[in-house]
Amino acid sequence: MAKIKGTIVVDKERCKGCGVCVASCPCDVLSLSSEVNGKGYPAAQMAVPDACTGCASCAVICPDSCITVYRQKFE
């Protein structure tokens, strides 16, 4: 069965760690990093990468436009 998988790339230095993406992810993929970026914010990251479907909910709501979403179909 074909499966659609997604992944995200977070611009870590642009991210402010607001966590709105974490709350918006329907598949509970995201979490905030335990490390901080140059400004002291914990950037968003994929905690459960396999569950990502590439729906882009996180990127759509991100106020700082720091999430890029990719999606691929596997046969």
Binding mask 10-39 for other proteins (x = CB under 8 A): -x-xx-xxxxx-xxx---------------
Q: How far is the CB of 37 from other proteins (least distance, A)?
A: 11
SS3 45: strand
Choice from 10, 29, 41, 43 touching other proteins (CB under 8 A):
41
When the beta carbons of 48 and 60 are compared against other proteins, the nearer one is: 60
Q: How far is CA 24 from CA 29, 30, 48, 51, 61, in A?
A: 10, 9, 15, 14, 8
